[in-house]
Amino acid sequence: ELGQLAKPSAVFASNTSSLRISDMTEASGRPDKMVGFHFFNPVQIMKLVEVIRAPTTSDDSFDLAVRLGQALGKKTVNCQDTPGFIVNRLL
């Protein structure tokens, strides 16, 4: 439903660290415009953000998310869509 309400150019991002982004791509109605964007808490202090690419995520959508993270002053880490992404798997 959200995919029908948002502009066609909108990229959807989820902050989840436990749900697969791939599972959300079809529900979004635009699988090429879905990324994971996982902040760490407390967000205002932690500099890291994981940017997660699903198999259907377009290069443009992924690059936009990386640029957004950098514009927010975060260190972006590129991740594949695996359970727990990078940091949670290390913990």
pTM: predicted TM-score of the whole model, two decimal places = 0.85
pLDDT in tens, the chain (91 residues): 777 888 999 999 998 877 889 988 888 889 999 999 999 889 899 999 999 999 999 999 999 999 999 999 999 999 888 765 555 544 4
Residues 6+ apart with CB under 8 A from 85: 17, 36, 38, 50, 52, 79
Please tell me the predicted confidence (pLDDT) of residue 77.
92
Residue 38 appears among annotated catalytic residues = yes
Please tell me the predicted confidence (pLDDT) of residue 90.
47
Q: What is the rounded distance in angstroms from the CA atom of residue 87 to the CA atom of residue 46? A: 13
Residue pair 30/5 in contact by the 8 Å Cβ criterion: no
Catalytic hit among 38, 50, 62, 81 = 38
Please tell me the predicted confidence (pLDDT) of residue 88.
52
Please tell me the predicted confidence (pLDDT) of residue 50.
92
Residues 6+ apart with CB under 8 A from 90: none
